[in-house]
């Protein structure tokens, strides 16, 4: 089915970025998987090419590209490359962490941090999840005690994407525990602040090229100018920005599903069993037909959500539907395609094995799919 979401200029941009990925990302992915993170040099190459935080205004070093479809191209093409680890890290930096600073930081903080995020000199992370809270962001325990011109932050965060490489982190803290969600604030903490430390990168089932770790804060002195927006409005800001995060996960999910299916179709044409390609077996043909139909449906839905978001019309419920359904589809496709590869599908050297392992976490982060269903239910039952 022909896609109409991108104009000619965006299609040219997509091809240029696809070529960049083929040169700078795909050949290095296996090495990055072994070292559990991408290289610092790759971040600088992304920045030099203009592929980080493109939406940032020119006065802060960005390109000032406000059409989110360009950002979506980057997430989509990275996912379609099969390099899920780098895809998660770069997209989170540009499209999840950076907007918090763009939208809520003081002018002083914007001038200080945004240019280095654009260049790749500073790598961003967002620290919401805690060991005892999980998806329950209202009950975080990391505290920020007001000391006049600064806060003293104590606590810990876990499962932090880009955590080990990060040197700028948006941290959700409690400035007034008695107020529940209304006592939550967001602050910027940088790696040079005394008392901020990191755990070793986790050994995960998938996303081996993406660094994930714990972050620890022990009496970290955070200047008041590093407060994002108003004190106590942090939970509101998180809920506002999460729609874009969930859309990004959905876009990456459908891109990965398309890539996995394409690779599997090719494999079934080449793999011989019982004297003929397995693509000629009825079970294979029916499985591929079913997946092709569902992936096409998923692509249409993803593109519609992207169109709505570009027009600032995507609501939280629809974003939750996209995140939930498309990540479920991604996992289903990865599992079916692995099965069609037989024993070879279980070998790490085959792309389908990576796709299967990388897909699983998509149903967990950015809010579990169970949380997504609860958010959808609240909308349809109100």
Q: What's the pLDDT tens digit per position in 57-101?
A: 999 999 999 999 999 999 999 999 999 999 999 999 999 999 999
pLDDT band at 135 (very low <50, low <70, confident <90, very high): low
- State the pLDDT at residue 110: 98
125-232 maps to which CATH number?
A: 2.40.110.10
**355 band by pLDDT with thresholds 50, 70 and 90:** very high
139 pLDDT band, cuts 50/70/90, is confident
User: Nearest Cα to 140, choosing from 153, 125, 124, 152?
Assistant: 153
The angle formed by the CA atoms of residues 106, 187 and 58, to the nearest 5 degrees, is 40
- Single pTM value for the model: 0.94
Q: Is pLDDT at 136 greater than 80 in this prediction? A: no
Q: Which of 33, 245, 258, 336 is catalytic?
A: 245
Instruction: Work out the average pLDDT over 129-137.
Output: 76
DSSP strands (E only) in the chain: 124-127, 143-146, 150-161, 168-174, 184-190, 196-198, 212-223, 227-228, 272-273, 276-277
Burial class from Cβ neighbours inside 10 Å (0-12, 13-18, 19+) for residue 382 reads exposed
DSSP 183: G
Query: Mean pLDDT score of the chain, rounded to an integer?
Result: 96
pLDDT band at 138 (very low <50, low <70, confident <90, very high): confident
All residues at 6 or more sequence positions from 9 whose CB lies less than 8 Å from its CB, including other chains: none
Domain ranges in the chain are 8-123, 125-232, 236-380
Between 142-146, 179-183, 298-302, the lowest mean confidence (pLDDT) is in: 179-183
What pLDDT is stored for residue 123 in this prediction?
A: 98
From 38-47, 92-101, 236-245, the region with the lowest mean pLDDT: 236-245
CA atoms of 185 and 236, how far apart (whole Å): 9
Q: What is the mean pLDDT of residues 130-143?
A: 80
Confidence check: pLDDT of 132 > 80: no
Q: What does the pLDDT read at residue 28?
A: 96
pLDDT band at 134 (very low <50, low <70, confident <90, very high): low
102 counts as catalytic = no
- CATH topology classification for 8-123: Butyryl-Coa Dehydrogenase, subunit A; domain 1 (1.10.540)
Express as a percent the part of the chain with pLDDT over 70. Answer: 99
DSSP 3-state of 220: strand
Q: Each residue of 244-273: b (16+ CB within 10 Å) or e?
A: bbbbbbbbbbbbbbbbbbebbbebbeebee
pLDDT per position as a tens digit, 198-215: 999 999 999 999 999 999
Q: Is the pLDDT of residue 39 over 90?
A: yes
Indicate if the pLDDT at residue 382 is higher than 90.
no
pLDDT-based confidence at 356, cuts 50/70/90?
very high
**236-380 topology per CATH:** Butyryl-CoA Dehydrogenase, subunit A; domain 3 (1.20.140)
CA atoms within 13 A on the CB side of 159: 16
The answer on pLDDT for 307 being more than 70 is yes
User: What average pLDDT does the segment 8-22 reach?
Assistant: 97
Distance from C-alpha of 38 to C-alpha of 61, rounded to nearest angstrom? 23
Q: What is the pLDDT of residue 104?
A: 98
DSSP E strand stretches across 227-367: 227-228, 272-273, 276-277
pLDDT grade for 137, boundaries at 50, 70 and 90: confident
Average pLDDT over residues 170-183: 93
Question: What does the pLDDT look like over 277-289, one tens digit per residue?
Answer: 999 999 999 999 9
Q: What's the mean pLDDT in 167-183?
A: 94
Question: How confident is the model over 163-179, as a mean pLDDT?
Answer: 96
């Amino acid at each position: 089915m022909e896609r109409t979401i991108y104009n000619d200029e965006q299609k040219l941009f997509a091809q240029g970025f696809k070529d960049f990925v083929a040169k700078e990302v795909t050949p290095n992915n296996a090495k990055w998987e072994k070292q559990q993170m991408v290289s610092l040099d790759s971040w600088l190459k992304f920045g030099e090419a203009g592929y980080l935080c493109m939406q940032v205004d020119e006065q802060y070093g960005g390109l000032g590209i406000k059409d989110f479809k360009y950002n979506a191209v980057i997430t989509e093409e990275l996912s379609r490359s099969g390099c899920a680890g780098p895809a998660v890290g770069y997209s989170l930096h540009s499209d999840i962490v950076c907007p918090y600073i763009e939208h809520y930081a003081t002018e002083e903080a914007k001038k200080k941090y945004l240019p280095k995020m654009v260049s790749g000199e500073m790598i961003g992370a967002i620290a919401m999840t805690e060991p005892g809270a999980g998806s329950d962001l209202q009950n975080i325990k990391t505290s920020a005690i007001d000391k006049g011109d600064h806060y003293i932050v104590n606590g810990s965060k876990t499962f932090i994407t880009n955590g080990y490489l990060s040197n700028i982190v948006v941290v959700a803290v409690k400035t007034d525990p008695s107020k529940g969600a209304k006592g939550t604030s967001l602050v910027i903490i940088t790696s040079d602040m005394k008392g901020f430390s990191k755990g070793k990168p986790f050994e995960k089932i998938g996303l081996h090229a993406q660094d994930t770790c714990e972050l620890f804060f022990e009496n970290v002195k955070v200047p008041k100018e590093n407060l994002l927006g108003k004190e106590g409005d942090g939970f509101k800001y998180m809920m506002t920005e999460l729609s874009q995060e969930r859309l990004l996960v959905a876009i990456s999910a459908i891109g990965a599903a398309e890539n996995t299916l394409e690779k599997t179709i090719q494999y079934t044409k080449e793999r011989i069993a019982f004297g003929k390609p397995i693509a000629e077996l009825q079970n294979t043909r029916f499985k591929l037909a079913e997946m092709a139909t569902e992936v096409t449906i998923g692509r249409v839905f993803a593109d519609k959500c992207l169109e709505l978001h570009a027009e600032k019309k995507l609501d939280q419920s629809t974003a939750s539907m996209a995140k939930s359904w498309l990540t479920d589809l991604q996992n289903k496709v990865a599992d079916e395609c692995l099965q069609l590869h037989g024993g070879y599908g279980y070998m790490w050297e085959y792309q389908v094995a990576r796709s299967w392992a990388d897909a699983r976490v998509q149903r967990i982060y950015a809010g579990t799919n169970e949380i997504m269903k609860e958010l959808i239910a609240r909308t349809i039952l109100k």
